[in-house]
Amino acid sequence: MEQIEFDYPAAKRRITKKAHIGVVGSGDMEVLMEPAQSEGANVSITTSVDGFRDSWKAVFDRFFSKFDGAVRIQINDAGATPGSVLLRLEQAVEVINQ
Amino acid sequence: MSQTNIIPEFVSRQSFIELDGRRRAQSLFDEGTWKELVGPFDRMESPWLPLQGVAPQFDDGCIVIKGKIGGMPAVAIALEGAFQGGSIGEVSGAKMTAALDLAAKDSEAGKRTAAILLLETGGVRLQEANLGLAAVAEVISSVLALRPYAPVITLIAGTVGCFGGMSLAAGVSSYVVMTREARLGLNGPEVIEQESGINEFDSSDRALIWAIHGESSALQWA
């Protein structure tokens, strides 16, 4: 199991809603997305699969190239592929943008 | 019919069995009457799974929703089958027991509150061993405490089914409702095959498994 943290200080748009998406099933993950307590966005991942920090970084760099909300993201992961991760994040964004 | 006519119908169909545990529980209640208790944002995770290198879940795979069904106060407790096989651990067990006990307390005070157990579970979570076994005992005693006041209804939709210790909770419920996809039994087919041999029970024989663990026969002994 590995803990991974990222900060995206440039994401400053204020967010008011929160979202919970997904289940920690095999090849899947769950995400909590809510307003950040500090300025900028931060990401905290708990994953059962070790050694994929670079892949997570690439996924979130891409996600925050389009999304600018100051969110706190927490993830529990059971081996979701990068594609599934992005889909779960998009689902969460859909909820907080409603 | 052209393909464009077929696809929207297929995509928009409402199927209970395709919902996750949380959506299943929500779908039972009268609209606008329900709220979730100790939800994922409360972060009541298992403290034991990370110690063993397993990612936990924010609700520990147990979803508790309180509201009204057909105007009657009710609580639905769902085990999420996709997380660790819907297994019951210390936290999920405590959530289940507390929800049943609150329903019994309300019922005793004159506000009859039914309980619906949505069980998709392999039973005790092996990583939490004795704590899971204790949870099963507590759930059973809480079901028995509520049962004289209000119905306790176990609903097994599938496809995980309800096995192990939690099948005992199903057994002491007032009613058990199963779909044709569901299975109910103490030991799962693979366990029986492993312990007693393939001549006793062939866990790859789906017709045999559903003849034994499916609703047509399982409900006769439940």
Per-residue pLDDT reduced to its tens digit, B164-174: 999 999 999 99
* Residue in B closest to A77 by C-alpha: B55
Mutate to test the interface with B, among A31, A48, A76 (most CBs of B within 10 A): A76
DSSP alpha helix (H) spans, A1-98: 53-66, 82-96
Q: Phi and psi at residue A9, in whole multiples of 5°?
A: -65, -20
Domains and CATH numbers, chain B: 15-185 (3.90.226.10)
What CA–CA distance (Å, rounded) separates B222 from B217? 9
Q: How many domains does chain A have?
A: 1
Per-residue pLDDT reduced to its tens digit, B25-34: 999 999 999 9
Residue of A45 and B215 predicted with greater confidence = A45
- Whether chain B has a CB inside 8 Å of the CB on A23: the answer is yes
Mutate to test the interface with A, among B45, B58, B91 (most CBs of A within 10 A): B58
Distance spanning both ends of chain B, measured CA to CA:
45
Mean pLDDT computed over every residue of chain B = 94
Is-contact B185 B147, C-beta < 8 A?
no
- Residue A55 domain boundaries: 2-96
* Residue in A closest to B45 by C-alpha: A76
> Where residue A62 sits, what CATH number does that domain have?
3.30.230
Does A61 score more than 60 pLDDT? Answer: yes
- Give the count of alpha carbons within 13 A of A25, CB side only: 13
Q: Phi and psi at residue A5, in whole multiples of 5°?
A: -125, 140
What CA–CA distance (Å, rounded) separates B51 from A46? 12
Q: Provide the pLDDT confidence category of residue B124 given band limits of 50, 70 and 90.
A: very high
Quote the tokens at residue A34.
């809510």
pTM: predicted TM-score of the whole model, two decimal places: 0.93
What CA–CA distance (Å, rounded) separates A39 from B76? 39
Contact at CB, B83 and A25, closer than 8 angstroms = yes
Quote the tokens at residue B89.
């651990």
Contact at CB, B55 and A34, closer than 8 angstroms = no
Looking at the partner chain, which of B21, B55, B80 has a beta carbon nearest the beta carbon of A48?
A: B55
User: pLDDT value at position B11?
Assistant: 82
Q: Phi and psi at residue B216, in whole multiples of 5°?
A: -65, -35
Contact at CB, A1 and B53, closer than 8 angstroms = yes
Average pLDDT over residues B125-150: 97
